[in-house]
Amino acid sequence: MPIRNKLKSEPCAIVRKLVESGYEAYIVGGAVRDLLLGCEPKVYDIATSATPEEIRAVFGRRNSRIIGRRFRLTHVFFKKDIYEVSTFRRCPNAEERRGREDDQDGMIWRDNEFGTLEEDAARRDFTVNAMYYDLTGDRGVIDFSSGQKDLKRKVVRAVGDPVQRFTEDPVRMLRAVKLCGQFGFHLSREVKKALTTMRERITLASSSRLFEELLKILCSSKAEPILSQLQAYGLLEYIWPVMSQSWDESEGVLARQLLSIRDREVAAGNLSNSRGLALATPSLPFLMSALNPQDMTAFWKRDANTDATATKAIRLIFDRYALPKFFATRIRNICYLVPRLLARPVSPRALNHIEYRHARALVAMLVEIFSWSDDILAALPEISVAVPPLPVQSGDVTGDSEAAVVPARTYKRRRRRPRPPRKPSVASPES
């Protein structure tokens, strides 16, 4: 089937509107790659000659917002979904690289120099990610750098010199290996060589970007194979040290088994790509071992120390990152429910918990891994868990749009108490 017939209508409408307004616009990157591979893209990226301000003028201020500092782009809201629309860029020259004052590392800290389509293609990371689809014209797939050939040969080749491209942005190393886990690609000789010598530089990337990538990996339906590739290429020890160090320990092995099952179920549409579940799944074994080191599969009995130990354990699992409290709470709530769903009789409060469906999913995974009796699941009513996959947009790591699809109860945002008025620190002249 030609690509045109496989495209979702909403991103096409965005492209058309930009073109009708006098700009160039194309579907780009992962979406074109996925379509050529015959997969349905989860997220569509759009590239255009319009600047962020011009994009906002086209779609209106209420339907769009500009995000990002390192990489400014525009989110366009369209029928409940968010689309990333980025302006064509070029590689900034040395003068334009507004690096840190003490930065000698050749990294690009701001990537906001606008350019032409050709220049935009040249600053994309890999040939398989640097293709554009011309929806409104007759150019079809626009491919400046052998992307289609590399896609057929399943090879991850850098656009340009990989040493320079990884120096500019070390996150590209992670992205290269991710493609291997995601699609069974292999790295080109040059990319492999550069990665082997440069992998430590991944630590120079900001932790928020790394956490964003890790979260995207965990939410995907290929989390386990991607983590395996990251471990094999020696990147996981920098990105997720606890997981890397426990890889062959009981916690790591169980975490990988759980992730494999979650991947399978997400791919089959039986589980949503919930961020809460994606984070809780590999966390559960670490929590089990922290709360009952003698016999992790016997779970734990809550006592006065449980909360403090669990909080510390969750912090340690993601020790490289300042895990947002919202996620820490969700991980804890989902994991805490697991032994409650295994107890008999199951308390009605546990069955009505907002995280019930995610905790039940974890119980189902444990039943499969340990060949526990099916009676366990029979006592736990199945509720519809299949919700449409949510696009995980970059730059949005703290919120959880998914809370909005929980039908009955949702997390409430705590209201801040108003602060008492400040006393003047210096006596006023009138006093």
Binding site for ligand ATP (CB under 6 A): 29-30, 43, 45, 124-125, 129-130, 169, 171-172, 216, 394
Rounded Cα distance, 204 and 217, in Å: 20
Q: Tell me which residue of 68, 65, 61, 59 sits closest to 89, measured CA to CA.
A: 68
Please state the closest distance from residue 72 (CB atom) to ligand ATP, in A.
14
Subset of residues 169 to 228 that bind Mg ion, contact rule: CB under 5 A:
none
Nearer to ligand ATP, 162 or 252 (CB): 162
Residue nearer to ligand ATP on the CB measure, 130 or 296:
130
CB of 265 to ligand ATP, least distance (A): 19
Which residue of the chain is nearest Mg ion when measured via CB? 30
Long-range contacts of 131-134 (CB under 8 A, 24+ apart): 131/28, 131/29, 131/32, 131/33, 131/36, 132/26, 132/27, 132/28, 132/32, 132/47, 133/3, 133/7, 133/26, 133/27, 133/28, 133/31, 133/32, 133/35, 134/26
DSSP classification of residue 78:
E
The correct pick among 43, 131, 235, 278 for binding Mg ion (CB under 5 A) is 43
Binding-site partner at residue 124 among Mg ion, ligand ATP, none, CB < 5 to 8 Å by type: ligand ATP
Give the nearer residue to Mg ion in terms of CB position, either 178 or 332.
Answer: 178
Q: How far is the CB of 56 from ligand ATP (least distance, A)?
A: 20
Residue number of the CB closest to ligand ATP reads 30
Contact window for Mg ion (CB under 5 A) among 43-51, 63-71, 110-118, 207-215:
43-51
In whole angstroms, the minimum distance from the beta carbon of 267 to Mg ion comes to 18
DSSP 424: P
As a whole number of angstroms, the distance between CA 164 and CA 162 comes to 5
Fill in the per-residue mask, 23 to 42: x = in contact with Mg ion (CB under 5 A), - = not in contact: -------x------------
Q: Using CB under 5 A as the criterion, which residues of the chain lie in contact with Mg ion when the complex forms?
A: 30, 43, 45
